[in-house]
């Protein structure tokens, strides 16, 4: 089973700071990690490979430093890592990101399965996986919490929904996005770290992918973040103090009057 796992490098969330003027995330000097939810996709892919054979390729679109994420994925047990990197890709929205990743997937060996994370902790849209499935015209099963059985041409999976679980039959090749419940990510081993250090990582540029420039980066993105705001917490209001029976009755009366003026009772 050949599996591709698209992974995203994100700023470590405990360190995220916003630029107060532009409203964008300040990435300079911030530690980058593999999107934590992608670790579950990596683990699921490695477990499938261990059971059914084949290989797992980690794929990321990002700056040259995103190579670190690929080496971490290999240290966990992925076989190969491919970096998709070109200045022309910078500022891509989810549509443009998926467009580039799909062209990269087409340059790899034929795949049976793509396993993406549920969402990235920075962009937080959960759109890239489904957009890739749509562009590749393959079946999509999102929020997968369990893989029940795998056949040569399909699999049975369990999907987390608001009121429980759905059981789906899905044909292969397909794309899954997975939730935390599906697995428990392993830690990299010493042998894995050694392999990761010595593995050559191919870098694919816009020219290699034969993509159309009009669809790349900020200019080629149909959507744009114009403003990001942190909600302001307002703590206005009146504190009613009740220290004895009389003040308790006064407080209740005042509260009832307040609710009446708001037509809440
Ligand atoms: C409306 C809108 C406008 C935007 N405009 C801009 C902009 O103007 N400039 C800008 O810099 N950014 C912009 N972004 C952010 C940018 O689109 C995202 O960071 C990026 O496209 C990935 O989307 P996401 O972080 O929401 O990932 P999600 O869709 O939440 O990620 C889901 C999964 O997709 C895979 N994945 C996501 N990104 C990658 C990747 N790069 N490589 C490999 N796998 C990946 C991972 O498996 C991940 O778990 C915009 C986002 C939105 C929603």
Residues 171 and 100 reside in one and the same domain: yes
Ligand 1 geometric centre to CA of 3 (Å): 21
DSSP letters spanning 64-84 = GGGHHHHHHHHHHT-SEEEEE
CB 91 within 8 A of CB 215: no
Residues 7 and 66 reside in one and the same domain: yes
Any domain includes 223: no
DSSP letters spanning 117-130 = ES--TTT----HHH
> Of the candidates 105, 17, 110, which has an alpha carbon nearest to the alpha carbon of residue 55?
110
Residues 248 and 186 reside in one and the same domain: no
CB 12 within 8 A of CB 32: yes
Residue nearest to ligand 1 atom 6, measured at CA: 93
Give yes or no for a cis peptide into 255 (omega within 30° of 0).
Answer: no
Predicted pLDDT of residue 15: 62
Any domain includes 225: no
Ligand 1 geometric centre to CA of 260 (Å): 47
Any domain includes 220: no
Residues 101 and 34 reside in one and the same domain: yes
Residues 55 and 126 reside in one and the same domain: yes
Residues 190 and 255 reside in one and the same domain: no
Residues 55 and 154 reside in one and the same domain: yes
Residues 211 and 239 reside in one and the same domain: no
- Looking at the structure of the chain, the number of domains it has is 2
Any domain includes 229: no
Any domain includes 251: yes
Helix, strand or coil for residue 202? coil
Which residue range is the domain that position 265 belongs to? 234-265
pLDDT in tens, 43-96: 999 999 999 999 999 999 999 999 999 999 999 999 999 999 999 999 999 999
Ligand 1 geometric centre to CA of 181 (Å): 23
Ligand 1 geometric centre to CA of 97 (Å): 7
Distance CA 167, CA 39 (A): 23
CB 157 within 8 A of CB 170: yes
Q: What is the pLDDT along the chain (265 residues), one digit of tens a residue?
A: 999 999 999 998 766 677 766 656 677 778 899 999 999 999 999 999 999 999 999 999 999 999 999 999 999 999 999 999 999 999 999 999 999 999 999 999 999 999 999 999 988 899 999 999 999 999 999 999 999 999 999 999 999 999 999 999 999 999 999 999 999 999 999 999 999 999 999 999 999 999 999 999 999 999 988 877 777 777 778 888 889 999 999 999 999 999 999 888 8
CA 70 to centroid of chain Cα atoms: 15
Distance CA 57, CA 41 (A): 12
Q: Identify the CATH number of the domain in which residue 123 sits.
A: 3.40.50.620
CA angle 82, 219, 223 (to 5 degrees): 90
Ligand 1 geometric centre to CA of 185 (Å): 22
Any domain includes 226: no
Residues 38 and 129 reside in one and the same domain: yes
Ligand 1 geometric centre to CA of 258 (Å): 46
Residues 200 and 260 reside in one and the same domain: no
Residue nearest to ligand 1 atom 53, measured at CA: 125
Distance CA 215, CA 18 (A): 27
Residues 165 and 262 reside in one and the same domain: no
Q: Enter the tokens of residue 193.
A: 């770290």
Q: Enter the tokens of residue 102.
A: 């799909």
Ligand 1 near 160 CB (within 6 A): no
Distance CA 98, CA 185 (A): 25
Probe target for ligand 1 pocket from 8, 9, 209, with the most ligand atoms within 8 Å of CB: 8
Ligand 1 geometric centre to CA of 132 (Å): 12
Find the length of the chain.
265
CB 143 within 8 A of CB 161: yes
Residues 173 and 243 reside in one and the same domain: no
| Ligand 1 atom having least distance to the Cα of 5 | 47
Any domain includes 50: yes
Residue nearest to ligand 1 atom 21, measured at CA: 94
| Ligand 1 atom having least distance to the Cα of 128 | 29
Any domain includes 221: no
Ligand 1 near 37 CB (within 6 A): yes
């Amino acid at each position: 089973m050949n599996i591709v796992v698209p992974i995203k490098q994100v700023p470590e969330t405990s360190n995220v700071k916003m630029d107060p003027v532009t409203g964008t995330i300040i990435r300079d000097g911030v530690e980058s990690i593999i999107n934590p939810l992608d670790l579950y996709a990596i683990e699921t892919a490695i477990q499938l490979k261990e059971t059914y054979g084949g290989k797992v390729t980690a794929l990321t679109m990002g700056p040259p430093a995103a190579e670190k994420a690929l080496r971490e994925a290999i240290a966990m047990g992925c076989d190969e890592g491919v970096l998709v990197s070109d200045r022309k890709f910078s500022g891509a929205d989810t549509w443009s990101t998926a467009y580039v990743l799909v062209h990269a997937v087409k340059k790899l060996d034929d795949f049976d399965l793509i396993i993406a994370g549920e969402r990235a902790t920075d962009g937080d849209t959960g759109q890239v996986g489904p957009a890739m499935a749509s562009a590749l015209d393959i079946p999509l099963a999102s929020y997968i919490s369990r893989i029940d059985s795998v056949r040569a041409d399909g699999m049975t999976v369990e999907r987390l929904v608001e009121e429980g679980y759905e059981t789906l039959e899905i044909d292969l090749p397909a794309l899954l996005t997975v939730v935390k419940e599906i697995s428990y990510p392993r830690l990299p081993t010493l042998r894995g770290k050694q392999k990761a250090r010595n593995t050559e990582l191919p870098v694919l540029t816009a020219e290699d992918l034969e993509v159309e420039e009009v669809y790349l980066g900020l200019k080629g993105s149909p959507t744009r973040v114009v403003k990001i705001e942190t909600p302001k917490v307002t703590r206005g209001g009146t504190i009613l103090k009740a220290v004895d029976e009389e003040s308790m009755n006064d407080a209740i009366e005042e509260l009832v009057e307040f609710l009446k003026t708001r037509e809440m009772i």
